């Protein structure tokens, strides 16, 4: 019999596998905007790594961070997305995105336990960069609202995948596995920063 945590993990994994770059930039109408927005975060390893790390770190920090960090990220990300849609420049977007994977991965690896407000600010700052990238890459003909709803929904699911990974923290071996995952995310972030991943 499947435990609820395993069902969540299985569902999150299936959703991540459903991504298809061929459809990530569909350019017609509200439905295509929604689909395009939903698939867009799932086609970039840098976005996936950082968003999953938010969920893992939230799970590591426990309540209320387990639900607060995954709420802060998409809410603030929409602000960054709006800036991108409006064409307002944001310096260092790619560095900010790579930096998010490095910092959030290290937070998990090092078992960082800052006050909740500091964790929320860290997550929020990086969310602006991710949102701006999504907003800037909005297909010309896609509905901006539908696209935004799509990428916020996908982001939430990636956070859930991170939380599901964080459920491993219940066991000593799971703690090691989660921290190693954080380290892998940080290393990937360095790769994103150097342009080798």
DSSP code per residue over 27-72: -SHHHHHHHHHHHGGGG-HHHHHHHHHHHHHHHHH-TTHHHHHHHH
User: Which helix or strand (DSSP H or E) is residue 7 part of?
Assistant: helix 4-17
Mean pLDDT of all residues in the chain? 84
Please report which confidence band the pLDDT of residue 24 belongs to, taking 50, 70 and 90 as the band edges.
very low
Is 30 within 8 Å of 141 (Cβ atoms)? no
- Which among 169, 57, 168 has a CA at the least distance from the CA of 120? 57
pLDDT tier at 27, thresholds 50, 70, 90 = very low
Average pLDDT over residues 136-145: 70
pLDDT recorded at residue 109: 96
The region that residue 184 occupies, defined by phi over 0 for left and psi between -120 and 50 for alpha, beta otherwise, is: alpha
| 176-185 residues labelled b (16+ CB within 10 A) or e (exposed) | eebbebbebb
pLDDT of residue 34: 83
- pLDDT beyond 90 at 146: no
User: What is the pLDDT at residue 32?
Assistant: 72
171 DSSP assignment: S
Question: What is the pLDDT averaged over residues 92-121?
Answer: 96
Other CB atoms closer than 10 Å to residue 136's CB: what's the count? 18
pTM: 0.79
Planar angle of CA 153, 146, 57, nearest 5 degrees: 20
The torsion angles phi and psi of 142, rounded to 5 degrees, stand at -75, 150
> How confident is the model over 134-161, as a mean pLDDT?
81
CA pair distance 12, 151, nearest whole angstrom? 15
pLDDT tens for 35-58 read 887 887 788 899 899 999 999 999
End-to-end Cα distance, the chain: 38
Position 3 scores a pLDDT of: 56
Instruction: Reply yes or no on whether the pLDDT at 116 is more than 70.
Output: yes
In tens, the pLDDT along 63-101 reads 999 999 999 999 999 899 889 888 899 999 999 999 999
């Amino acid at each position: 019999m499947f435990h609820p945590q395993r069902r969540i993990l299985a569902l999150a994994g299936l959703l991540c596998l459903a991504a298809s770059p061929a459809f990530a930039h569909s350019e017609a109408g509200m439905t295509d905007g929604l689909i395009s927005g939903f698939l867009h975060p799932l086609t970039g390893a840098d976005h996936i790594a950082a968003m999953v790390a938010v969920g893992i770190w939230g799970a590591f920090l426990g309540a209320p961070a387990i639900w607060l960090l995954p709420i802060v990220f998409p809410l603030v990300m929409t602000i960054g997305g709006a800036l991108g849609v409006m064409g307002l420049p944001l310096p260092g977007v790619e560095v900010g995105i790579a930096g998010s994977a490095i910092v959030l991965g290290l937070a998990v690896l090092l078992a960082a336990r800052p006050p909740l407000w500091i964790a929320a600010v860290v997550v929020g700052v990086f969310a602006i960069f991710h949102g701006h990238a999504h907003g800037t890459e909005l297909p010309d003909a896609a509905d901006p609202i539908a696209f935004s709803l799509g990428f916020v929904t996908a982001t939430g699911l990636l956070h859930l995948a991170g939380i599901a990974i964080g459920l491993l923290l219940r066991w000593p071996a799971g703690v090691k596995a989660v921290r190693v995952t954080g380290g892998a995310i940080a290393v990937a972030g360095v790769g994103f920063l150097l342009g080798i991943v």
